[in-house]
Structure 1
Amino acid sequence: MKSGTFALNRRIFVQASAVALAMPAIAGRAFAQDKFVFKIAHTEGIGTPITNAFDKWAAVLNEKSGGRIDAQHFPAAQLGGLAEALEGSRMGTIQATTAGPDSEEAIAPEIAAFGGAPGFIYKNEAHVDAVLQGPLGQKCSDIAREKTGVEFVAYGETGFRHILSKNAVTSLDGLKGLKIRVPQLRIWVDFWTLLGAAPTPLPYSEQYSALSTGIIDAIDSDVFSIVGFKFYEQAKHLTLTGHWFLPKAVRVNAAWLDSLPEDLQALVRDSAKEVFAEQRQINRSKASETLEELKTLGVEVHELSKEELAKMEELTAPLFDEFGSKSPETAEMIKQIRALG
């Protein structure tokens, strides 16, 4: 064999070997590019039905995607409060969170009503389902995607909210001057102001300490959060009012969702609907059980008369017109939601 031919063959062999050696690294990089980190962060309490549902959803995504989605779950404000979670989901620094549609009051007031605004809009759980699991629920998601950059892939819930207070509230008179924590949203402030209370806007994560130090006298909450965040340690009176039903939109950053291959987009949407349909049923079936648990934890439960509850609804009814005045679309949405009840 000529020396030139030998040198050429040797060069080809070396190049081929180098390519072969590089293949695992190239394949590894390709695999890494196909792995999509999915950070789920929210403020819901540990052990609550909705947090358990997010645990399950993360596990389903990790398993059924074959590891292509790396779902990481951070509950109980581990990555910041509600404001940070909402902003993160819009910007894509986190990929998913949950909050009531009322959190979009400033950006998309026409969908804020889906989050229970402005109180007493949902009559019962069947009414909630008729709204959110039908065409109106899809319309709400479409508007959110267009205006906020997030898609509502499903709706969970924490249920009807009641008043937890340091002193017993057994009539509307007990609301006079009551320092009650509210989210940092105008509609909640207006709601409690009409009832004679002294609404105090605070981040969700500050409720426990605010009750402890006397900054507030009361909060309104679902029963699961009272147990999950141990609010009962600071306030021992629960008044069943059911004044606000809070659905929880499962919010996914739209740009991140659009970046996925089509099969993974379908997996995210379909698995969310399945997992949170189950969550809603668990939430409803365990509400009474959790109420009984609160009694064993030393919480005294009170009920307002039908007349008092009707008076609460009457006093806050003007908010429907006030809230609807934000835009014709908002007024129409409120009308359509109420019509299904």
Structure 2
Amino acid sequence: MILEKARHLAISAVVLGGLALQPLVAQAETTLTVATVDAAGTLRNLAGKKLRDILEERGAKVKVRHIEGPVLGNAAQVRDQVAEGSVDVIGTDAAWATPYSNFLKATSYAFIFRDHAHLTSVFESDFMKGLADQIAAEQGVRILGAAILPSRAYFTSVEPRSANDFEGLKIRSPQLDNWLASYKALGANPTPVNWNEVFLALQTGLVDGGHGLPVDVKPNNWHMAAPNITDLEDMFAVHVWMINEGRWQALSEQEQADLQHAVNEVNAWMAESASKQNIEAIAQMLKEGEGSYISHSAAKREAVAALAGAEKVAEFPNAEREKLREMALAAARKMEGQTGWWDEGVLDQIQAVK
């Protein structure tokens, strides 16, 4: 582990050091190194480029040097580099911020949020603003903002039509305890696999399925090995931007304002783009992978059918989805107050947000 960490820090130093040798511009400006880790063409990758471009177009004194792909390591490794200060900013899934707050584990746990609007309201609440300050003070990493994206979908070789179909299903999971516990609560068998290795894991049968945002999954070709796409709106994707707190405090007020404005603009763009691109990505994957789109939502089935054909969609009964929801929430309540999990009463606090 130590050698692996040292290797990534060394790579970071080479990449960033080489870039730092570029000629200095005449006008003083601050350049932040931003990593988005995901493959070229994914929504998160494009968000990193857009952040850079917005600041350029704005003529801001703070600039962005965008490091694309997993050059500096995986999301967890780059997150740690941000905490250490060798990378300034990371844009990634909120799941990788969960080590900084037990509450954030709830954002990557099945069925805790009623719908997309509910999750958005929670992130816009005063509670979340206070949490960002607390994380910055205690962990040295500040959450600048979050984009609430569409729901993740399951990509499997089988066609789930009931709660029982999740029993024993080997679902790829990041090495995060909240995801592992969430899949177990549904009766599945979570199997940790790095994001960039999921396609091979699906091909070889190491896992039976993966769970991800379709627009992000498409460039990774999961659908060619696991063509059936099941969308139960059990867990929504959340993209967060995290900056090293020391680096943030070193920025001038204007630089902070410019960066915050750009982050907010990118988040709005991500949410809007993801909703449209998600349905388009699903339809395209169904054509390429010859699978089915399975959902409890009639509106979503109709939207996909309009692009891919009615024969490509199937219903997941609401009664079966309710069984999975009850299983997940029952397990979540048992964990409340336990070491390493959210505090007692947090689930009720979340549900109270309108």
- TM-score, normalising length from structure 2? 0.80
Task: Flag the 1:280–1:331 CA change in 2: closer, same or farther, 3 A.
Answer: farther
Which one of the candidate residues 239, 243, 247 is aligned to 1:248?
Answer: 239
**Deviation of residue 120 (structure 1)?**
0.8
Correspondence for 1:91: 84
2:30 matches 1:36: yes
Bigger Cα displacement from structure 2, 47-56 vs 77-86: 47-56
Instruction: Tell me, in whole angstroms, the C-alpha distance in 2 between the residues paired with 1:158 and 1:186.
Output: 22
**Deviation of residue 286 (structure 1)?**
2.9
Query: 1:56-78 CA distances to partner (integer Å, 9 max, x unpaired)?
Result: 11112234345x43412233323
Task: Flag the 1:174–1:225 CA change in 2: closer, same or farther, 3 A.
Answer: same
Correspondence for 2:304: none
2:301 matches 1:307: no
RMSD: 2.4
Correspondence for 2:163: 172
Show the 5 A alignment for 1:118-267: 118-267=109-258
Q: Tell me if the contact between 1:158 and 1:224 (Cα under 8 Å) persists in the aligned partners.
A: no
Q: Tell me if the contact between 1:108 and 1:147 (Cα under 8 Å) persists in the aligned partners.
A: no
Task: Flag the 1:29–1:228 CA change in 2: closer, same or farther, 3 A.
Answer: closer
- Structure 1 spans left out of the alignment, 5+ residues: 1-27
Amino acid at match of 1:46: A
2:334 matches 1:322: yes
**Deviation of residue 31 (structure 1)?**
5.2
Which one of the candidate residues 45, 55, 60 is aligned to 1:51?
Answer: 45
Aligned sequence identity (%): 20
Amino acid at match of 1:336: Q
**Deviation of residue 142 (structure 1)?**
1.8
Secondary structure of 1:256's match? helix
Instruction: Tell me, in whole angstroms, the C-alpha distance in 1 between the residues paired with 2:231 and 2:96.
Output: 24
- Structure 2 spans left out of the alignment, 5+ residues: 1-22, 296-315
Q: Tell me if the contact between 2:148 and 2:239 (Cα under 8 Å) persists in the aligned partners.
A: yes
Secondary structure of 1:331's match? coil
Q: How many residues align?
A: 310
Query: 1:306-339 CA distances to partner (integer Å, 9 max, x unpaired)?
Result: 0110000111112332342147973344332221
Correspondence for 1:340: 353
2:282 matches 1:284: no
Task: Flag the 1:31–1:137 CA change in 2: closer, same or farther, 3 A.
Answer: farther
Instruction: Tell me, in whole angstroms, the C-alpha distance in 2 between the residues paired with 1:326 and 1:248.
Output: 27
Correspondence for 2:7: none
Task: Flag the 1:65–1:252 CA change in 2: closer, same or farther, 3 A.
Answer: farther
Instruction: Tell me, in whole angstroms, the C-alpha distance in 1 between the residues paired with 2:72 and 2:351.
Output: 36
Q: After TM superposition, which residue ranges in structure 1, 4 or more long, deviate above 6 angstroms?
A: none
Q: Tell me if the contact between 1:111 and 1:140 (Cα under 8 Å) persists in the aligned partners.
A: no
Instruction: Tell me, in whole angstroms, the C-alpha distance in 2 between the residues paired with 1:122 and 1:329.
Output: 15
Task: Flag the 1:143–1:329 CA change in 2: closer, same or farther, 3 A.
Answer: farther
Instruction: Tell me, in whole angstroms, the C-alpha distance in 1 between the residues paired with 2:109 and 2:247.
Output: 32
Secondary structure of 1:243's match? coil
**Deviation of residue 340 (structure 1)?**
1.6
Instruction: Tell me, in whole angstroms, the C-alpha distance in 2 between the residues paired with 1:41 and 1:220.
Output: 23
2:74 matches 1:81: yes
Q: Tell me if the contact between 2:145 and 2:263 (Cα under 8 Å) persists in the aligned partners.
A: yes
Amino acid at match of 1:302: I
Instruction: Tell me, in whole angstroms, the C-alpha distance in 2 between the residues paired with 1:316 and 1:332.
Output: 16
**Deviation of residue 79 (structure 1)?**
2.2
Instruction: Tell me, in whole angstroms, the C-alpha distance in 2 between the residues paired with 1:60 and 1:181.
Output: 35
Amino acid at match of 2:127: L
Correspondence for 1:25: none
